[in-house]
Amino acid sequence: MTDHYDVLVVGAGPAGLAAATAAASHGARVGLIDAQATAGGQVWRHDVEHGDTALARRNVAAALEHPGVTWLAQTRVVGVEAGALLVEDPKNARWLRYRALILATGARELLLPFPGWTLPGVTGAGGLQALVKQGWPLRGRRVVIAGSGPLLLAAAVTARRHGAQVLGIYEQASADNIQRFARSLWRWPGKAAQAVGMRAQLVGAPYRCGSVVRRAFGETHIQSIEVDGPRGLEQIACDHLAVGYGLLPNVELAQLLGCDLQLVGVHPRVSTDAQQRTSVEGIYATGELCGIGGRDSARFEGAIAGHAAVGDDAHVARLQRHRQHARRFAELLDRHFALDPRVHALAEPDTLICRCEDVPLSALDGYTDARSAKLATRCGMGACQGRICGSALAELARFPRNGSRPPLFPARLSTLGSDPSSVR
């Protein structure tokens, strides 16, 4: 079975929702797909206990209630052909054909290994938010948030709102860098107000700069952690540790489609022009896929891509100034939350790097490329397809990630047997 769309949008976070709304406003037939059951992405993930923010409700409704938008929930892209995507939902597989494709695949957390990071009770900072919003119980539990970036404050606020006892927030960036970052926020008053609001909700929870979680202790689950900070080594008893070292663009689909990528440090992002066009004709990329920039940048870029995909250059031109201002905030984040070398030295020889296949760091000694290491050790051959360990190894300067190849995610055999010649 094949469905045809004027514009197909992959990802229903802030960027994808804005893109779908913009394209549909011109009368285009738009398909909006996402792997989750509800729209909003990671930023506006539905909170089963507290509901959604007014901003999230407005943006989701603007896209999903538009008569020109077809919402395809719980749908994952498995493979690609020229002008079409092979997708799978819980019941069926189908080909989705498009005239223009907008990629809004967002980002994932950068998780860096340290002794004890695989213990039950240790998650990413964003992972903690996702679990709690979906109903995972946290009330009364002692929680530590650590890593780097503004996501730590958001995770701490979510944890406290759901009844957790937030013992502290441990930021690896130095106090000087954080102060310089804060002093720069006058150019983004909305961001400054958001930061002040989150800190107000975290009264009593210490915020420690220049601090890194060195290890987690426990037998069957986490019981305590060791933190290296300005006060020296400190041991803290806790029930849950959430650690995230920033975000990385999900470039796998763009790479499979042949879009040009550029490296920012050791991690790739998609190259685009001022209209969010990639190097491949008819394919656009938006939001975190083009570099981590946050919600505002994603919304402006999504709208630009949606208008550009249907040829409305006037709307695109009017949005450029807002996009540029939002992107300057992203540059500020990169500059002030750069990772301390201590973070890269946390993993020990027996620390597991690939959690899916139980591969320790020492097993990768002597390999200079990901393919050789994978063939010999199975590192990166698990369910995450190397998204976690591959990114960590690139960050640790072991070797860059391999290129993407289908299937992008584990899929049913019946899906993989779908005939691409049926795409018309």
List all residues 6 or more positions away from 314 whose beta carbon is below 8 Å from its beta carbon.
none
Tens of pLDDT, residues 405-417: 778 888 888 888 7
CATH fold for domain 111-245:
FAD/NAD(P)-binding domain (3.50.50)
Sheet containing 232-237: order of strands: 212-217, 224-229, 232-237
For 280-287, what is the mean pLDDT? Answer: 97
For position 375, what pLDDT does the model report?
A: 87
For position 351, what pLDDT does the model report?
A: 95
pLDDT band at 152; cut points 50, 70, 90: very high
For position 105, what pLDDT does the model report?
A: 97
List all residues 6 or more positions away from 315 whose beta carbon is below 8 Å from its beta carbon.
22, 303, 304, 307
pLDDT band at 387; cut points 50, 70, 90: confident
Residue 345 pLDDT greater than 70, yes or no: yes
pLDDT band at 421; cut points 50, 70, 90: low
In the chain, helix, strand, coil percent, each to 5? Answer: 35, 25, 40
Contact yes or no for 88/413 (Cβ under 8 A): no
Tens of pLDDT, residues 287-298: 999 999 889 999
CA dist 277 and 259 (Å) reads: 10
For 117-141, what is the mean pLDDT? Answer: 95
CA atoms within 13 A on the CB side of 372: 10
pLDDT band at 381; cut points 50, 70, 90: confident
Contact yes or no for 63/21 (Cβ under 8 A): yes
Which of the residue ranges 162-176, 302-316, 329-343 would you say has the lowest mean pLDDT?
329-343
For position 419, what pLDDT does the model report?
A: 63
For position 18, what pLDDT does the model report?
A: 98
pTM: 0.94
Tens of pLDDT, residues 211-230: 999 999 999 999 999 999 99
Beta-sheet pairing, 84-88 with 93-103: antiparallel
Residue 384 pLDDT greater than 90, yes or no: no
Percent of the chain with pLDDT over 90: 83
List all residues 6 or more positions away from 86 whose beta carbon is below 8 Å from its beta carbon.
77, 78, 79, 80, 93, 94, 95, 415, 418, 420
The CATH class of 2-108+248-335 is alpha beta
For position 330, what pLDDT does the model report?
A: 86
Within the chain, which residue ranges are assigned CATH 3.50.50.60? 2-108+248-335, 111-245
For position 371, what pLDDT does the model report?
A: 85
Residue 342 pLDDT greater than 70, yes or no: yes
**Mean pLDDT of the residues in the chain:** 93
For position 1, what pLDDT does the model report?
A: 60
Give how far Cα 164 sits from Cα of 139, 194, 223, 386, Å.
5, 21, 16, 32
Tens of pLDDT, residues 48-90: 999 999 999 999 999 999 999 999 999 999 999 989 999 999 9
Tens of pLDDT, residues 234-250: 999 999 999 999 999 99
